[in-house]
Structure 1
Amino acid sequence: KLLAAGDNLPVAQLRGMLRMRQADLAQELQAKQAQLIQVEARLRQIEQEGQPSPYEVVVKPIPTQPVASIRQIVPSIAEFGYYCDSMYGRLYHRLAQLNITPLHPEITVYHATEYHETDLDVEMGLTVLPQIVQSPPAVNDLTFQELPAYELAAALIYDGPYLNLTDGVLALLKYVGTHGHVPAGPLRELHLSGPAHTEQTADATPVIELQLPIEQV
């Protein structure tokens, strides 16, 4: 319909409308691709039942971690990439304005008691020096805090694209469930290979550590 009406519109207006439609279609395609990836991950999980896990899970203590963070509800897992770029972009921008140099690594925290794909309560943080958390700047759009330490956490290293990270998460949850443990805190995602921004990792394979605090049933 838009193309059919094009002959009656000024070129500039038609160009703008087409670009808006192009952006809408690109967003719809991205969402469908994300949904397809989630379905494929579930299928792989079913097919791997009874097979050895491709991931090595270790149980270890995790220390406190001083961070500057932003917490937000992500409507769906299909939109997670957009929110990841947006939230981390805001963090880097705000810390630069405050003359604070972020340290390594980025940490994404999933505040949920179980795995789900809608209304994700997510906190994204940049590691900072402990003294910054102890005497934080007077701002209301960032949270300066210490992520708590845990005596026990199940952890694995995931090496691959962010879009397939669900495979690692499901493997970690399966390990916890089959070894007599339950989650004792939110899942943490540490970006060991560098920032998660798409433009900064396009030519590199991300390396991510997943950490899930646990306790014995």
Structure 2
Amino acid sequence: MFTIGDFARLGQVSVRMLRHYDAIGLLRPVEVDPSSGYRFYGAEQLRRLNRLVALKDLGFTLRQVGEILDDKVGADELRGMLRLRQGQLEAQIEADMARLAGVESRLRMIDLEDFPRTAEVTVKAIPAVRVAEVSALAAGYEGSAIGPVIQTLFPRLGEVVTAAGLEPDYPAIAYYTSAGNEVAVHAAVPVAADPDPAHGFDIVDLPAIECAATMLHHGPMDDIGASFQALARWIDHNGHRTLDFAREVYLECGEAMITELQVAITKGRGSPPESTSAG
């Protein structure tokens, strides 16, 4: 048998917790010395301790832990319960991490609100382009909703375009359209091809834009919201109105990523200058 200190060390818990488990009847010592009150534990009790700690760490209350252990749940059944709970916690962590990334992105937008942007806004016409595209729905325009969708679309687009024997012409393009309460995310790449029902993708002619406000975004997509908001402030400041159309054109990928933001606008006060600074 082991003293409470030795058993705590072997079970990797605190002495205080062992005393608490004893007090509430979750893990009684094998023997208590009547004269000294010292508690002694047996090695076979490590099995119960391991299950107790695992269940508690996975979010079960001590009352629930006691009921599970007292029902003498078998190892296979307990393992299944733990795997299920583990999956639930992993999904919760993933959701929390996505929310945290969203908060960090929003904080960066707020931090940049009071600092003028040095990037230039250029107003220009965008020619029509024929593209191969695949699309999927996202829950909203948040980065946490768009990101996972678009990250799967472009690899799939590359696979089906290659399988069709087509040679894509870069840069790649992403654009978004309303789909009720959701957002249709389109991943596209210019191609010289006609529509074919045998293709695992659509051939679409993106229309020309007579007047688009454009700006270059340098860096990762995590911060693209701040660039879009800077562009929006420029559009509003210059008296223009946006049309329901915006594109992201990926001019450079990798660490030195450069994305051109294109927003279709109607001309506001007078004729827009060819380029001005966004701020």
Class of the TM-score when normalised by the shorter of the 2 chains: 0.7 to 0.9
Amino acid aligned to 2:217: Y
Of 24-33 and 13-22, the range deviating more from structure 2: 13-22
What is the SS of the residue equivalent to 1:85? helix
In the alignment, is residue 206 of structure 1 matched against residue 257 of structure 2?
yes
Quote the RMSD (CA, aligned, Å).
Answer: 2.9
Q: 1:26 to 1:81 in 2, by over 3 A?
A: farther
TM-score normalised by L of structure 2: 0.61
Residue of structure 1 aligned with 2:173, choices 103, 107, 110: 107
Against the structure 1 CA distance between its residues 9 and 101, is the aligned structure 2 distance closer, same or farther, given a 3 Å change threshold?
farther
1:33 matched to 2:100? The reply is: yes
What amino acid does structure 1 have at the position aligned with 2:206? L
| Structure 2: tracts of 5 or more residues without a match | 1-51, 59-72, 269-279
Highest relative contact order (Cα 8 Å, sep 6+), 1 or 2?
A: 1
Relative distance call for 1:149 and 1:27 in structure 2 (3 A) is same
Superimposed CA distance per residue, residues 146-180 of structure 1 (whole angstroms, 9 cap, x where no aligned partner): 21112211111110111111011111111111111
Written as runs of structure 1 = structure 2, the 5 A alignment for 1:41-120 is 41-46=108-113, 48=114, 51-76=115-140, 77=142, 78-111=144-177, 119-120=182-183
Determine if contact 1:63/1:149 at 8 Å carries over to the other structure.
yes
Equivalent-residue separation in structure 1 for 2:215 and 2:234 (angstroms): 10
Map Cα deviations across residues 17-69 of structure 1 (whole Å, 9 max, x no partner). Answer: 477356414521431133213421441254x1xx5323211111111121111
Deviations 1:85-117 (A, max 9, x none): 1111221121122122222111011225xxxxx
Structure 2 counterpart of 1:128, from 155, 180, 191: 191
User: Which of 149, 152, 157 lines up with 2:216 in the alignment?
Assistant: 157
Partners of 2:259 and 2:165 in 1: how far apart? 27
Classify the secondary structure of the residue corresponding to 2:252. Answer: coil
**CA positional deviation for 1:15:** 8.4
TM-score normalized by structure 1?
0.77
How many residue pairs get aligned? The number is 197
Alignment-mate amino acid for residue 87 of structure 2: M
- Structure 1 unaligned segments of length 5 or more: list them: 113-117, 195-200
CA distance in 2, matches of 1:150, 1:105: 17
SS state of the match for residue 137, structure 1? coil
Shift of residue 119 of structure 1?
Answer: 2.7
1:124 & 1:89 partners in 2: Cα distance? 10
Secondary structure, counterpart of 1:111 in structure 2: strand
The 5 A counterparts of 1:178-217 are: 178-194=237-253, 201=254, 204-217=255-268
Q: 1:22/1:161 Cα in 2 relative to 1: closer, same or farther (>3 Å)? A: farther
**Identity among equivalent pairs (%):** 20
Partner of 1:100: helix, strand, or coil? coil
Q: Per the alignment, do residues 53 and 13 of structure 1 end up closer, same or farther by CA in structure 2, a change over 3 Å counting?
A: same
Greater Cα offset, 18-27 or 83-92? 18-27
How many Å separate the matches in 2 of 1:2 and 1:14? Answer: 14
8 A Cα contact 1:108 1:124, kept in partner: yes
After superposing the two structures, state which structure 1 stretch, 62-71 or 16-25, moved more.
Answer: 16-25
Look up the SS of the partner of 2:98 in the other structure: helix
For residues 249 and 53 of structure 2, the distance between their equivalents in structure 1, rounded to whole angstroms, comes to: 45
Contact 2:175/2:246 (CA < 8 Å) preserved in 1? yes
